[in-house]
Structure 1
Amino acid sequence: MQNNLKTRVLIVNDDGIQSGYMRALALALARIADVFVFAPEVEQSGVSQAFTVRRGLSLKKVDFTQDPSLEVKGDCGVLEAYSMSGTPADCAKFALGHFALHGVATEGVGPGPFEVCFSGVNLGENSGVSSLYSGTVAGAREAALWGVPGIALSLRGSTANMLETAKEFAVKVVKDRLFERIPVGVFWNVNFPKATAETFKGYKATKMALGMFTDHYSHEHGLWQLDGDKLWDEQPKDSDDYLLNQGYATITPHRIDQTDEESLEVINEMLAGGVCG
């Protein structure tokens, strides 16, 4: 029986239900909250905000407690996990739009509205323009679309200490209810550097870098293969890409509303002048 006084947390990801990084986050948060995991059954990296329509989705309950290291004991909250045959956006959309109200039944009772959604922890950075392609960031964006504070968590490298840092960050966000300070229509994109405990420099509030990848294609065995990287040190010094590369964890607030107000004025002037009439 769940404790209704505990914060209701949704976790999604794009690395899939088998991700040890996501499971570690779920365990850490289940010690202080009621945690519900909805993750793709297979990896869905780079799918951005894609969702499934005109075909059905399968849902399967997964028992995390089969792994002794993820066993939840004592005064811990609920830990329920499900895999879904869709994208990160599908997972968040189903959890927020159906499961919260009806559970997994067609007509049933769910746990109630989620208070915060974490997407991740992702293995691989999602700073700068990576955030536009990222399924991890899309999970947090989908939550924001439903009016739920969303926070994407990504690691640039696979160092164990940065996973611990990401978990500690998420726990603090829930314990201190910092997610309540995220405005409606905004979500956080949080990236952790490739660093050791000694070289980690702390946190920075940053803007999104706009530098594009050095994309190039090679032709091998009749197929075109994409490769490339970022020009990390050529980005603005207050941007997420630059500061992540310097050893900081970056917190970048993103908005759902992508309207460019200045361009609205230009377009209105064009319309008033009969340009499109």
Structure 2
Amino acid sequence: MDGPRILLTNDDGIDSVGFRALYEGLSTLGDVIAVAPADDQSSVGRSISRAVDVRDHELGYEVAGTPVDCVIAGLGTLCPDVDLVVSGCNKGANIGAYVLGRSGTVSAAVEAAFFDVPAISVSLYIDAGDDWQQLATDPADFRHATAATRYLVDHAGEAGVFEAADYLNVNVPYIETESGRIEPSEMVVTHPSTRYEMGAERNGEQVDLQDNIWEMMRSGSITDPEGTDRRAVAEGQISVSPLTAPHSTKHHDALDSLAEQYRVENEGPS
């Protein structure tokens, strides 16, 4: 089949509805090979195993491991000649800089970048309060996420997007109101919000960890500036953040001086 050869993975598991939606949507563009976890691997970040069991699946390969395991197994041996890795579609948003390292969905895209394979991670932001898990249960509910992913898969490479970005983190809103569902208005280029609202509360012998961002979003308290991923999805826009994988490094005088002083102080008597 003409078109790109795509490794499709995720962190919700190979049988999740969002994964099936992307598989079916992307299969009309190219050759899609599933290499995805056998079960839910949400929030495992870049966790890796020493060895994983792999079983044939009707869509490709089912891996008893993490999303990063899937990417390494796929690009390393199962389907090393792919043109692109797509990870998703995750049920739940992956927005904000602090989320990037803990998300299994995003981590799969990061891992692909180290193989020099461009990647796209895709998530569905569900604005429905405590009932969000009860929504997006049908592949059709992921239609906007699928359409956005198809568009980027079809055009990003030839447009030169991956000459500057290692991967794209895409978040698509699914917003329910009393009057009906709000359709995404447009696709906008964003950067991850740096707002951080994690906290902790002692509860006897237990400490509860709390991510207060979601409560703020449910209440409409979105103070993130224009241009951020969180602001975009809250306003019904499809957020696309172009990102690079390696941690940035920068030499500066203060640390260079400390390193030199350490040498001087530890030379000892001659």
The residue that corresponds to 1:268 in the other structure is 256
The residue that corresponds to 1:203 in the other structure is 187
The residue that corresponds to 1:250 in the other structure is 239
The residue that corresponds to 2:16 in the other structure is 19
Whether 2:10 is the aligned partner of 1:9: answer no
Whether 2:209 is the aligned partner of 1:226: answer yes
The residue that corresponds to 1:127 in the other structure is 95
Q: How does 1:157-236 map to 2 (within 5 A)?
A: 157=126, 158-159=135-136, 163-176=142-155, 178=157, 181-183=161-163, 186-195=166-175, 198-217=182-201, 219=203, 224-230=207-213, 231=216, 233-236=222-225
Whole-angstrom distance in 2 between the partners of 1:16 and 1:218 = 33
Q: How does 1:54-65 map to 2 (within 5 A)?
A: 56-63=51-58
Cα 1:184–1:234 shift into 2, 3 Å: closer
Whether 2:49 is the aligned partner of 1:52: answer yes
Cα 1:218–1:20 shift into 2, 3 Å: farther
What CA deviation, in whole Å up to 9, does each residue of 1:102-161 have, x standing for no partner? xxxxxxxxxxx1111110000011011222210000011111110011110001115576
Whole-angstrom distance in 2 between the partners of 1:216 and 1:155 = 27
- % identical equivalent positions: 24
What CA deviation, in whole Å up to 9, does each residue of 1:19-59 have, x standing for no partner? 11101110111122110011111111111111112xx3111
* TM-score normalised by structure 1 residue count: 0.78
* TM-score normalised by structure 2 residue count: 0.80
Cα 1:156–1:198 shift into 2, 3 Å: closer
The residue that corresponds to 1:108 in the other structure is none
What CA deviation, in whole Å up to 9, does each residue of 1:199-251 have, x standing for no partner? 5221111111111134334749x755433331551222221112221211111
Whole-angstrom distance in 1 between the partners of 2:166 and 2:120 = 10
The residue that corresponds to 1:149 in the other structure is 118
Q: Structure 2, unaligned stretches of length 5 or more?
A: 127-134, 265-270
CA RMSD, Structure 1 to Structure 2 (Å) = 2.4
